[in-house]
Amino acid sequence: MLNLFKIEWLKLKTYRTFWILFGGFLVSYPLAFFFSASKYNEFTSAKSGMEGRMIDALIDTPYVFPKIWHTASWFGGLFFILVGMLFILLITNEVQYRTHRQNIIDGWSRMDFLKAKFSLLIFFVAISTVLVFLSALAVGLYYSPSASDIFRSVHFIGYYALMATLYLMVAFLIAILVKRTGLAIIIYFAVVFIVDNILWASFTFQGSQIGYFMPLDAADSLVSNPFNPKAFNMRTVPDYSLIIASVTYIVIYGYIVISYFRKSDLKT
């Protein structure tokens, strides 16, 4: 798979859109995270001692260790939508410009093409996970009064990697099925921002925990909004159940992608 990734990288390194979107993520995420931490600490410092402590207690001090790992992972999920859009663009462009057919004519198998795209998926998840980890570590070291429990909640970084993988698998599935860049991106955004939230709300506000097992919420719920007061948390489903659900969705989507592409007509 490493050789296939090297070939993919040759395509990417001169592709301006890749540098705009992925570079935008690499720059905008840490800047926004540092800025939000700065503004939050300015806000709480401007309050009276008791009021500032009450705000911190209500949302559990989001920019110091160990909560910083949770906060950084949630922020990463917000910005990772850019990478999902880029991933769709890279796959649909191959289909629209018939370069996937040329790869296969030149000796690749259909599985080689898919493996090359899976290698890109791994690359995006790995780089973004390292970025989230380093951003959390830097902000936490700067704002935390003590680093004694520095890695106590670092598992949230793993939750972020799982969430990013699930998001890209959804993007991969949509891109392979739809094939048209604009339509695929619209569907992706609709699924991420509208459909999944509606499904979650329709179950959760009726007192059911099924909403947390919806296709994207299984991973999203592992990295919930860290600024919501703890009293507002309605989830009783344990983390391990959501991890199993997320991995199951990833496997299912991967199976559909492989099965469909193996049988699809490369002329369309």
Spell out the alpha helix ranges (H) of 60-195: 68-79, 81-96, 99-105, 110-143, 155-178, 181-190
Residue 40 CB neighbour total at 10 angstroms: 19
* Mean pLDDT of all residues belonging to the chain: 88
On the question of pLDDT at 85 being above 70, the answer is: yes
Burial level of 112, CB count in 10 A (0-12/13-18/19+)?
Answer: middle
pLDDT at 177: 92
3-class secondary-structure state, position 70: helix
- SS3 percent helix, strand, coil of the chain, rounded to 5, is 80, 0, 20
On the question of pLDDT at 265 being above 70, the answer is: no
Band (231; pLDDT cuts 50, 70, 90): low
Residue 143 CB neighbour total at 10 angstroms: 17
On the question of pLDDT at 18 being above 70, the answer is: yes
Band (2; pLDDT cuts 50, 70, 90): confident
Scanning the structure block, which residue is given the tokens 């990463």? 76
pLDDT at 49: 60
pLDDT at 166: 97
pLDDT at 252: 97
CA distance 34 to 128: 16
Closest CA to 71 of 200, 158, 157: 157
How wide is the angle at C-alpha 207 spanned by C-alphas 203 and 213, nearest 5°? 45
| Least confident among 9-18, 102-111, 213-222, 236-245 | 102-111
pLDDT at 266: 60
- Counting residues of the chain whose pLDDT is more than 70, the rounded percentage is 88
Of 266 and 42, the one with more pLDDT: 42
pLDDT at 149: 83
pLDDT at 87: 96
> What's the distance, CA 167 to chain centroid?
5
CA distance 71 to 164: 15
Taking only the tens place, the pLDDT of each residue in 90-128 is 999 887 766 655 665 556 788 888 999 999 999 999 999
Burial level of 77, CB count in 10 A (0-12/13-18/19+)?
Answer: buried
| Least confident among 45-49, 134-138, 159-163, 253-257 | 45-49
pLDDT at 232: 67
